[in-house]
Amino acid sequence: MPAAATRRTTPRALTRWALSLALGLGCLSAVWAYDAPVEKKTFQMQQLTTVGGKTIKDVRIGYETYGTLNAQGNNAIFIAHFFSGNSHAAGRYAASDAAPGYWDSIIGSGKAIDTDKYFVVAADTLVNLSPGAPHVVTTGPASINPDTGKEYGMGFPIVTIRDFVNTQKALLDSLGVKKLQAVIGASMGSLQAMEWAASYPDMVERVIPVIPGGVEANPYLIETLGAWAAPILSDPKWNQGNYYGKEAPLQGLAEALKLVTLSSRNYGWAESTYGRRWAAADKNPLDAWSNQFAIEDSFAKVSAARAQQADANSFLYLVRANQLFRVGQTATLEEGLKRIKAKILFVPAKSDLLLFPDYSRKATAQLKAQGNVVETFEIQGDGGHLDGVFLIGQAAETIRAFLTR
Amino acid sequence: MPAAATRRTTPRALTRWALSLALGLGCLSAVWAYDAPVEKKTFQMQQLTTVGGKTIKDVRIGYETYGTLNAQGNNAIFIAHFFSGNSHAAGRYAASDAAPGYWDSIIGSGKAIDTDKYFVVAADTLVNLSPGAPHVVTTGPASINPDTGKEYGMGFPIVTIRDFVNTQKALLDSLGVKKLQAVIGASMGSLQAMEWAASYPDMVERVIPVIPGGVEANPYLIETLGAWAAPILSDPKWNQGNYYGKEAPLQGLAEALKLVTLSSRNYGWAESTYGRRWAAADKNPLDAWSNQFAIEDSFAKVSAARAQQADANSFLYLVRANQLFRVGQTATLEEGLKRIKAKILFVPAKSDLLLFPDYSRKATAQLKAQGNVVETFEIQGDGGHLDGVFLIGQAAETIRAFLTR
């Protein structure tokens, strides 16, 4: 607080400062939650055989850990990330980082996912959306194919959520993890959590799917994901995925990311964030085609900026992986469901317009019908799907308690 | 039933046939509901001055009527159509037509909107989506500008829902209508109904906005509409709107129409209609990029077919008109709201993911707060927005009763 130090500080101001710190700036505590900055590491596998029967050589995924694994290797919790996310769930890589990891409010010393008690592992997925971003390590279409010395492009094998989980399993094996107290993830991370429960039922005690997709991708989600991908396929610069070393299809990718944001939000949020304001106060959209509403202008700018860090082919691989999701990746849903032993805590967001709360309601009925223990905590808010990321704090005490059940 | 006639017909089969006719094929009765086929007519205005202050010469819109105007000119009901619709709300143009107008279940002799009692008028809007379709008459970007002898393209003035209503008012004046017992419309038609109430409060007794957009376009709708338009703007064949006489931007238009259908449906409908079936039983989407899910294949085919009848520029004009919607087209919402005198019956659809039931809930609170009479009937179903078109029959008796209040 250097600015405060130069002002004359009254006792009342000091009290106010302490109070605001305690109430509003709780995230600052994350800086002190770990002795050292979070370290991003790389896990390597010689090869992965995919669900589709293909082989990927020299698989590399990034990961980070918080807390310490116990001697029995049974105090671990795995955090799976969402579509546009990465392993950075908590803490800071450096004290100077502008913000901590996305779920820092629930992961750390004394927090709901208590790093004094649990060994928390978070990893980048295969085909991560942003292979070129700092701190992201992934294997996907933008990686060099060891057999050709060139980027895979669309020749990379189609992968599934199960393939993500299998690389994570290999990572956890390498770390000495024997038992997962829980797998937690938001959105696409929730699919991975459910897949963990179906794929490795004896290893997973609990799963906490947040803003959950249920137990398989609903066809409405399949079509929505396809609609996200369409602007990339239509961009001539995409060129069947052969754009590495050339100009990337940034316009198509930005349009795709715009659709992702739209799906991830809600009309309540739009109303309070933008209203019907124009992008420029003197430029009425009634008067010219280039005059826009503020929400359109903002979405365009944010998406164009985000496209700079993302990879169009990786976007397409993520779309397909999500479309293909069915627990266990089995021929029938029933087969996959039957494999699940873990206790489940679904954490849907009430205003979610992408992975609707009905998806976990339906899954709850199916899982309870076969005898699973299923609980639900619904996040309140009008922010849409992203409430599962930003308002996870609402579920903190429920998660803390669920981890001891 | 020529196929049935060639089979041996048992008494039981006859009974079954009669029963299925009575239960399932009620729409056939529309053939007999009018003495004569419905006639599509054209209304012409020498010129229209738009809300944006521009002049459009030689405005032509198509319309059709059912029933007879009384001597006082006060038994009229106006039907406004939805985004991709046109004036054909009831009856058949010819006995051989495959289907009657979209709301035939509630418009006709003895039906909720009883053509023995009311003079029902339905008209095409300005900038109708399908200016080239049979029976559509509209003025918009695909029309010939009398000043240049060429299509307007994107030089056509930006128009608003209020401009639609003003052409409809001129039409009704020409027909001798003095009083509207009601204005009814689904989706974009609901915006026109509300706009009628704010624009001509002394002429409109009642409005029935079905799958209603409330009293102004929510910014989430503004962005959604912008997302629909994006594939057209990205299609090189769109060429800033100069494609008449050349190849039309059908790919962009088809992508746009796909998004419209997606927005107009619901996950419940997708689940029961498509499930997770593949487009071809032996082509697993896990195995190749060209292998698709059935829902993707179906949306692509239907949208490509629909694009053949639609006009890309008109799509963009409709998008902007909907984005600009605020009752009364006044500087503040309050001004527009205060003009409304009509009794209002909102008919939202429970599973609507485009014009959310919350939109009419909020509008109801605002209107009731200023003393308006507002009722609501919610259509049950999991078909999404389109339930307001296909399941309007649920609201039939409520509409019938509301018309007498």
Integer Cα distance of A320 and A181 in angstroms: 29
Q: Which residues of chain B have pLDDT under 70?
A: 1-36
Quick check: A18 pLDDT over 50? no
Q: How much of chain A exceeds pLDDT 90, in percent?
A: 91
Quick check: A20 pLDDT over 90? no
Terminal alpha carbon distance of chain A: 42
Interchain proximity B222–A160, CB inside 8 Å: no
- The per-residue pLDDT for range A319-369, each reduced to its tens digit, is 999 999 999 999 999 999 999 999 999 999 999 999 999 999 999 999 999
Domain coordinates of chain A in residue numbers? 29-215+327-402, 224-314
Give the per-residue pLDDT at A13: 40
- The architecture (CATH level 2) of A224-314 comes to Orthogonal Bundle (1.10)
Give the per-residue pLDDT at A140: 98
Give the per-residue pLDDT at A23: 40
Question: Has domain B29-217+326-402 been given CATH number 3.40.50.1820?
Answer: yes
Integer Cα distance of B346 and A280 in angstroms: 34
Cα–Cα distances in angstroms (integers) from residue B27 to residues B91, B105, B108, B188, B280, in the given order:
10, 7, 11, 25, 33
Q: How much of chain A exceeds pLDDT 70, in percent?
A: 91
In B, residues 138-177, which contact A (CB 8 Å cutoff)?
Answer: 154, 158, 160
Over range A169-174, report the average pLDDT: 98
- The per-residue pLDDT for range B25-52, each reduced to its tens digit, is 334 444 444 446 999 999 999 999 999 9
CA-nearest residue of chain B to A294? B219
Give the per-residue pLDDT at A14: 40
Task: Give the global pTM.
Answer: 0.91
Residue of B337, B47, B324 lying closest to B162 (CA atoms): B324
Per CATH, which fold does A29-215+327-402 belong to?
Rossmann fold (3.40.50)
Give the per-residue pLDDT at A36: 64
- Chain B: give the shortest CA distance to residue A362, in Å: 11
Interchain proximity A52–B160, CB inside 8 Å: no
Neighbours of A245 (CB within 10 A): 8
- Kindly state whether B32 is in contact with chain A, defined as any CB-CB distance less than 8 angstroms: no
- Kindly state whether A236 is in contact with chain B, defined as any CB-CB distance less than 8 angstroms: yes
Give the per-residue pLDDT at A26: 37
Q: What is the largest CA-CA distance in chain A?
A: 70
- Chain A: give the shortest CA distance to residue B361, in Å: 13
- Chain A: give the shortest CA distance to residue B184, in Å: 25
Over range A36-52, report the average pLDDT: 95
Give the per-residue pLDDT at B21: 39
Neighbours of A383 (CB within 10 A): 23
> Buried b vs exposed e over A135-169: b needs ≥16 C-beta within 10 Å?
ebbbbbbbbebeeeeebbbeebbbbbbbbbbbbbb
- Axis-axis angle for helices A219-234, B219-234 (nearest 10): 50
Contact A289, B233 (CB under 8 A): no
- E strand map for B22-74: 41-49, 55-66
Give the per-residue pLDDT at B36: 65
B352 a catalytic residue: yes
Helices (H), B51-160: none
pLDDT band at A8 (very low <50, low <70, confident <90, very high): very low
